[in-house]
Amino acid sequence: MNTMVQEAESHEFVPRVIPPPEGRYLHRTVRDDGICVLTFDRPGSTANIFDRATLEELQHELDFIESGQNITGLILISAKPTIFIAGLDLRQITEMTSLADIGELLAFGQAQISRLTQLKIPTVAAIHGAAVGGGYEIALACDYRLATPDKVTKIGLPETNLGLLPAWGGATRLPRLVGLPRALDFILAGKTTSAQGALRLGLVDQLVPAERLVRAAARAIQKGKSHRPSHWLANNPLTVAFLAPPMRRRLFQKTRGHYPAVLKAFEVMSGGVTRSVSASLALERKGILELARSESTHNLLRLFFMRERAKKRVLNDSMPRLEPKPINHTAVIGAGVMGAGIAQWLSSRGLTVVLRDVNTGQVAHGMAGIAKLYQDGIRHHVFTHRDARDGLDRIAPAPAEVPLRHMDLVIEAAVEKLELKKKIFQKLDELAGEETILATNTSALPVSELASATRRPERVLGLHFFNPVHRMQLVEVVAGQATSPEALLRAVRFVQRIGKLPVIVKDSPGFLVNRILMPYLIEAGILFEHGADLEQLDEAMLDFGMPMGPMRLLDEVGLDVALHVAQTLAAHFGDRLRVPVILSRMVEARVLGRKSGTGFYLHDRKMRPNPPLKAFVQSNSAHSLTRDDLQERMYFLMLNEAARCLEEKVVSTPEDIDFAMIMGTGFAPFRGGPLRYADSLGIEKIVGAMEILADCGAKQYAPCVLLKQMASDGSKFYPNP
């Protein structure tokens, strides 16, 4: 006990040296000054989470504090190096079959957390690491919130991203802490912010270095119970009544009604802020139970678990979990948009990077792009000035040939020309070391053919990053015909280490995401050629739940890039893919989309359709199609190609396809992905509709063998919901 007290008093206090007794989640230390330090430390885990057992231990500890033990204050802290508390154990919720059980757990959690607010002694949440969901909700119940300024410290209430709402007091207490407008902005967007951002928003009271966290918390306790401003101007009934109708309309326009958690969180917060705390907590519980019935919530939770799976996956579950040689030193060949984006991301993750291109001008242009990415990151509080400087220092510009023998990984990101890339790989094969992995960032060209240009094809694979690299989390790890399991495992571990989410795919034209996406984009172009209104095409898929309409997406990708991928796929799948004439004509005219200022849209402030494109309309056969018709025609082709990918074993599971399409294209997350959505519609019904279209002459709709077989035997992609 004396040793623990001395550590708590010193500048060298390190919470993680306090192990809880075996099997315990919380460890109590009472200092000589009567302050109780309650340390969260879940055994056998890198994270602290709330489950029933943890809440019961919290109940026990609060019983002790309330039992007259001369406790003068309470400090909540974590022993984990990167996590304060990561929130509720979502698996426990998803495994519950009864709404009554969910309601009981929510009520129990609310009751224990609310007890913190009722204690007569001052309470402090001393936050180091991620405090999200329930982890921040327990902090909100404390009188004071101190946080470390470290990168690992994140504050957030991301529940709406999971189809839920903060129901352990977050939707009740945050509006009372910072005012309803600011709380709505934070919770409805499911935001997570840095410690600096949290301080600016009023989510925490003070930033304190980790080594002084407990000492600063003890000083806060000496101030006594906190007294906060009431925010009466923002939180009164008249203000809420004035703000609610336009806010509700804006939310519906933004979500198109597809994300009920956002609207429900708004109802709970705007309704609860003018009621008592207990009445507001009751609204939280009621809101969660209503959302628990929603298929949207189920699909968003499934997406969460797929993300967690991708963070930890190996090649297959039966492989021994061997740790491969880590990748620390990298080179990127090609300093264009993608190459510069990859180099910036790697350097920001602590890796050294050689950025190589053919001349000084190209490299300088790439470095300027990287500097801008870092400056944008500083402006948005993603990086500090020191982070940006250190990241730039880790990049070595190389306008001339350099040795690559000490590199662990070389990523080629040159222009999409097969013969040029083969020559690059021949040269890389000579320059690289024996254990260097050679990867291509190509979006469609065959990895196996590039590997055949080297002496050791077993170390060649694809690492297909998506644009923009700093925003898109998915990376396709493409296994060529000769790629070794060892190289593949090293690549997967590398992708996980740099904070991206890998999906392992077989070398196939277009790999996975582009192969499924291109028939959809091509069909949108064909429908436009046959009279479908440009804005109606985009609005139809926005209503469907896509983040961007197909015509706008073509402009953003670049029509030259889209044409190249379409032609590559059409060369392999010409029996069902016909490149729209309009794409070739627009590229010939250098009408390339956003990059040229004009595409299907005029990229000015008003974002209007490009009038001259009407000359490319060949007929009016699609002019009268409804939005539902347009949605079906574009979605059916995505589904058909997704089923073919599963049929051809491009990936191993339906989850891989749905995960990749959501993370790589933004495919309506609330629908669960193209295959999950197909199950909900009914395979037999879909196949019948596709066959009608095919019989009318649209041969691209002929359902693949797998879909016809599933329709015949009544099977689903996901037999167990």
The verdict on 554 and 495 lying in the same domain is: no
Q: Is residue 496 part of a domain?
A: yes
| Cis, peptide link before residue 209, omega less than 30° from 0 | no
Residue 424 inside a domain? The answer is yes
Domain containing residue 579: 514-713
Residue 585 lies in a domain: yes
> Is the pLDDT reported for residue 1 higher than 90?
no
- For residues 123 and 78, membership in a common domain is answered with yes
In a domain, residue 281? The reply is no
Number of continuous H segments (helices) and E segments (strands) in the chain: 30, 20
Q: What's the whole-number average pLDDT of the chain?
A: 92
| Cα gap 496→498, rounded to integer Å | 6
Q: State which amino acid sits at residue 300.
A: L
335 C-beta neighbours (distance < 10 Å), count: 29
pLDDT exceeds 70 at position 67:
yes
Q: What's the pLDDT score for residue 349? A: 96
- Mean pLDDT of the region 118-124: 96
- Which helix or strand (DSSP H or E) is residue 344 part of? helix 337-348
Q: What is the rounded distance in angstroms from the CA atom of residue 299 to the CA atom of residue 628?
A: 22
Domains in the chain, number: 3
Statement to judge: residues 521 and 497 lie in one domain: no
Judgement on whether residues 500 and 569 belong to the same structural domain of the protein: no
% of the chain exceeding 90 in pLDDT: 83
Q: Which residues pair with residue 503 across a beta bridge?
A: 476
**Last residue in a domain, options 479, 507, 535:** 507
Which is the catalytic residue, given 231, 298, 464, 603?
A: 464
Q: How far apart are CA 354 and CA 394, in angstroms?
A: 8
394: its two tokens? 């880790």
pLDDT tops 90 at residue 484: yes
Q: Is 714 exposed, middle or buried (0-12, 13-18, 19+ CB in 10 A)?
A: exposed
251-306 pLDDT, tens per residue?
Answer: 999 999 999 999 999 999 999 999 999 999 999 999 999 999 999 999 999 999 99
Are 616 and 640 found together in one domain?
yes
Q: For 356-397, write each residue's pLDDT tens digit.
A: 999 999 999 999 999 999 999 999 888 989 999 999 999 999
Q: Which secondary structure element, helix H or strand E, spans residue 83, and what is its range?
A: strand 83-85
Say if residue 429 is in the same domain as residue 536.
no
pLDDT at position 316 is: 62
pLDDT at 522 > cutoff 70 = yes
pLDDT at 420: 95
Q: Average pLDDT, stretch 180-206?
A: 95
Q: Are strands 352-356 and 395-398 parallel, antiparallel or unpaired?
A: parallel
User: Does residue 116 surpass a pLDDT of 50?
Assistant: yes
pLDDT of residue 134: 96
Interval 623-650 mean pLDDT: 96
Of the given ranges (20-34, 90-104, 320-334), which has the lowest mean pLDDT?
Answer: 20-34
488 and 529 assigned to the same domain: no
Strand partners, 127: 147
In a domain, 478, yes or no: yes
Is residue 74 classed as helix, strand or coil in its secondary structure? strand
Residue 204: CATH number of its domain: 3.90.226.10
* Mean pLDDT for the stretch of residues 94-112: 92
Pick 10 or 721 by higher pLDDT.
721
CA distance 43 to 49: 11
Beta-carbon count within 10 A of 233 CB: 10
**Res 10: pLDDT:** 37
Residue 11 has pLDDT above 50, yes or no: no
Handedness of CA 537, 542, 544, 545 (dihedral sign): positive
**What pLDDT does residue 314 have?**
75
Question: What tokens were used for 410?
Answer: 């070389």
Is residue 54 within 8 A of residue 117, CB to CB? The reply is: no
Q: Are residues 116 and 155 in the same domain?
A: yes
Q: Which of 174, 202, 231 is the last residue of a domain?
A: 231
- Give the CATH number, domain containing residue 428: 3.40.50.720
Amino acid at 289: L
Q: Are residues 542 and 614 in the same domain?
A: yes
- By C-alpha distance, which of 79, 191, 177, 75 is closest to 128? 79
Q: E-assigned strands of 200-255?
A: 206-207
Among this protein's residues, is 258 annotated catalytic?
no
Could you tell me the pLDDT band of residue 578, with boundaries at 50, 70 and 90?
confident
Same domain? For 496 and 595 the reply is no
How far apart (Å, rounded) are the C-alpha atoms in residues 338 and 469?
A: 7
**278 in a structural domain:** no
In a domain, 353, yes or no: yes
CATH classification of the domain holding 523? 1.10.1040.50
Asked if 303 contacts 659 with a C-beta cutoff of 8 angstroms, the reply is yes
Structure tokens at 42: 């879940």
Q: What is the DSSP string of 509-560?
A: TTTTHHHHHHHHHHHHHHHHHTT--HHHHHHHHHHHT-SS-HHHHHHHH-HH
Please tell me the distance from the alpha carbon of residue 439 to that of residue 441, in angstroms, as a whole number.
7
Is the same domain home to 486 and 565?
no
Is the domain of 607 the same as that of 486? no
β-pairing, 26-30 with 35-40? antiparallel
- At 230, give phi and psi (nearest 5°): -85, -15
Distance CA 126, CA 213 (A): 6
Please choose, from the candidates 519, 523, 522, 546, the residue with its C-alpha nearest in 3D space to the C-alpha of residue 667: 546
Nearest-angstrom CA–CA distance, 390 and 172:
41
pLDDT at 321: 57
Q: Is residue 259 part of a domain?
A: no
Q: Is 681 helix (H, G, I), strand (E, B) or coil?
A: helix
Of the candidates 368, 387, 365, the residue with the CA atom closest to the CA atom of residue 378: 387
CA atoms within 13 A on the CB side of 248: 12
Q: Is the pLDDT of residue 588 over 90?
A: yes
The residue ranges of DSSP E strands in 326-403, in sequence order, are 329-333, 352-356, 395-398
Domain C-terminal end among 178, 198, 231:
231
Overall average pLDDT of the 492-505 stretch: 96
